[in-house]
Amino acid sequence: MSNTSENYLVGIFDDEDVLLHGVEGIREKGVKIHEVYSPFPVHGLDEVLGYRRTRLPIAAFLFGMTGTSLALVMQIWMLGFDWPMIIGGKNYVSLPPFIPVTFELTVLLSALGMVATFFIVSDMKPYKKPRSYDLRSTDDKHVMAINLAANKISKDDISRILKDNGASEVNEKNF
Amino acid sequence: MQATSTLRESLITGGKTVRDVSEDISRQVEAKPTRLWWTVFGISLVVFMFGFYCLTTLLWEGIGMWGLNKTVGWAWDITNFVWWVGIGHAGTLISAILLLFRQKWRMSINRAAEAMTIFAVICAATFPLAHMGRLWLGFYWALPLPNTWGSLWVNFNSPLLWDVFAISTYFTVSLVFWYIGLIPDFAVIRDRAVRTGHKTRAAIYNALSFGWDGAAKTWMRYESVALILAGLSTPLVLSVHTIVSFDFATSVVPGWHTTIFPPYFVAGAIFSGFAMVLTLLIVTRKVFKLEDYITIYHIELMNIVIIITGSIVGIAYITEFFVAWYGQVPAEFYAFYNRAFGPYWWAYASMMTCNVISPQLFWFKKLRTNIVATFVLSIIVNIGMWFERFVIIVTSVHRDYLPSSWSMFYPTLYDVGEYLFTFGLFFTAFFLFAKFFPVINMAEVKSIIKSSSERRH
């Protein structure tokens, strides 16, 4: 194995059910899977791959709370303290008319903040050149990448394990 | 194993495979535009240019160019604004609320419906912006920005300001939701371009796809983001037309000052939004040959939504009338009497016929599964919904408490021109979208193709 390149074994799966069972079987054999690339979300794949649940909902909640506080502080400060004005004989600060703007800013900040977090944690940006293990992974195939350097099992054995667990093709890919 | 109900029809017909989905949907992005596309795009562009001329004249000369007068200060502009915002409700409703209810039939139609939402909201926004007169000062009037009056802030007690926040938040969140859905599909087109050696196209669609790779970890986060966006958009979509209705309901004008407005406006918005989705999709499925993806079953389900919301709107009209009589406030009762029997009776009659009677035809299965009937009725519904807003806005203000100031509203070329401007803008944008973006959410459709193929195993 050369030091300059990374060598991957790429297993191609045609069907998501075969893939789900395949991932379980392959992991049982002690093979470390680098990642699986799919054309559409496969339910349960994150579980069989042993991924932790995403914490993006927490980010969404925190951004939402930021929006709520920002909106309330802004409205109360502007109309209650910075330039108080009598409008229709109402109190300077009365909460019911502040609800719509508070709600909208909560939703706005929550959505934008969560999506920005998603882009950052997934390292997605317009000028990113993704690594493609097999171009069919956005079309109709599920593509499993196995980093040979991260595994102690020999290439031929991994290849056999992949085939036994439902891979329709096994290819090599070097970067 | 998943059980399959025999009562439900298959969502995608023609025995499509996952491969076929990429092929069928990407083809229209990759192929050269057809003559039909150039024709419809050209017509839209001409309408847009004419409207643009009217709009610039209006901005240059001032809104005196409109047919407004001292009594009728709100007419076509606000009618068109509310009409477009209403149309803009279907997209996010389909993608958010139907996602939460796990209605899989949304998957073939949500992309186009969301695009429609975004363009409709842009069209809607042009009216209040133009109505400001001096558009370039609008930022100071509409947003809480420090200004030369020693920071005299905007009035947060005003429903007009709530509208600014509601519409802009709705637009932004809908845009983000739509774009998030587009990302995996841009990657499909990118990879196909890499395979066929189209370097420029590959680079453009890679940038658009934010370097999407479809990793299991990214999909997991992606699904979580989509679900939360749906959860956030659901109250949002209901809040937008509620707040639009506050523009009227919080006033003291007879005919506007009613508590029924928020739910009734929301139902009306969904009603007109679905009608516009049907109008556009019936054309789109024909032009891009998507009959296997947008089936008669999809059209039937949308028609059922139209019956339900149309009936809610019908009940709301009758309730308003009943309450006006039962409340025994003379001014309020006169406002409603004048609507139905005054000089604008024809607008009221059009509204009742188009919105209350015509959707009831969809109780017949033959009609709601007939494409021509659906297409005609979807346009009739939107004509009716335009008249509804016209009736609510103009008939309530044209005769107020003081008979000496009673007046009529007559539109000028610039009222019509700005309406045409938004039509041009809407269709130009929609045809550009339909040509350069995948009109059907490939990733989602692929996931339902798989589960339907399970029956074969």
Domains defined for chain B, CATH in brackets = 30-145+158-452 (1.20.1630.10)
User: What are the tens digits of pLDDT across the range B360-371?
Assistant: 999 999 999 999
Count of Cβ atoms closer than 10 Å to residue B33 Cβ: 13
CB pairs under 8 A between A and B: 196
Contact B210 A125 (CB under 8 A): yes
**Residue A173: its pLDDT value, please?**
84
Q: Which residues of B touch A41 (CB under 8 A)?
A: 219-220, 222-223, 443, 447
| Per-residue pLDDT, B450 | 56
Q: Does the distance separating the beta carbons of A111 and B217 come in below 8 Å?
A: no
Chain B residues inside the 8 Å CB shell of A92: none
Inform me whether the pLDDT recorded for A65 exceeds 90: yes
Flag whether pLDDT at B380 surpasses 80. yes
**pLDDT tens track for B54-69:** 999 999 998 889 989 8
For residue B1, pLDDT over 60 is answered with no
- Nearest CA of chain A to the CA of B291: how many Å? 21
Tell me the mean pLDDT in the region B252-265: 89
Is a pLDDT exceeding 90 seen at residue B379?
Answer: yes
Dump pLDDT digits (tens) for A107-156: 999 999 999 999 999 989 888 888 888 888 888 889 998 888 888 888 88
Reply yes or no on whether the pLDDT at B276 is more than 50: yes
Indicate the pTM of the whole model. 0.92
* Among candidates A46, A74, A131 on the partner chain, residue whose Cβ is nearest the Cβ of B144: A74
DSSP B277-337: HHHHHHHHHHHTT-TTTS-HHHHHHHHHHHHHHHHHHHHHHHHHHHHHHHHT-HHHHHHHH
Helix (H, G, I), strand (E, B) or coil at B152: coil
Which residues of chain B neighbour A130 with C-beta distances below 8 Å? 206, 211-213
Q: Is A32 on the interface with B (CB under 8 A)?
A: no
Q: Print burial letters for B103-120: b (CB count within 10 Å at least 16), e (below 16).
A: ebbbbbbbbbbbbbbbbb
Of residues B23 and B351, the one with the higher pLDDT is B351
Give the DSSP letter string of B18-49: HHHHHHHHHHHHHSPPPHHHHHHHHHHHHHHH
Alpha-carbon gap: B19 to the closest alpha carbon of chain A (Å): 5
Instruction: Find where tokens 């506080």 sit.
Output: A69
> Residue B456: which pLDDT band, with cuts at 50, 70 and 90?
very low
Is residue B452 predicted with pLDDT exceeding 50? no
Q: Do the Cβ atoms of B216 and A127 come within 8 Å? A: no
* Contact present, A67 and A110 (Cβ < 8 Å): yes
Closest chain A residue to the Cα of B150, Cα to Cα: A83
* B183 has a pLDDT exceeding 90: yes
Spatial distance between the Cα atoms of A112 and A99, rounded to a whole number of angstroms? 20
Q: Percent of chain B, pLDDT > 70? A: 96
Window from A63-72, B20-29, B275-284, B448-457 with minimum mean pLDDT: B448-457
Q: Pick the residue with more confidence: B138 or B435?
A: B435
A158 at B interface, C-beta within 8 A: no
Beta bridge partners of A36: A144
**C-alpha to C-alpha distance for B124 and B68, rounded to whole angstroms:** 19
Integer CA distances (angstroms), B306 to B39, B106, B125, B207, in order: 31, 15, 25, 39
Per-residue model confidence (pLDDT) at position B9: 62
The residues spanned by each domain of chain A are 7-53+131-174, 56-121
* Cα gap B180→B225, rounded to integer Å: 9
The pLDDT of residue B85 is above 50: yes
Q: Tell me whether residues A40 and B446 touch, CB distance under 8 A.
A: yes
- Partners of residue B19 in chain A, C-beta under 8 Å: 139-140
**Which pLDDT score is estimated for A94?**
87
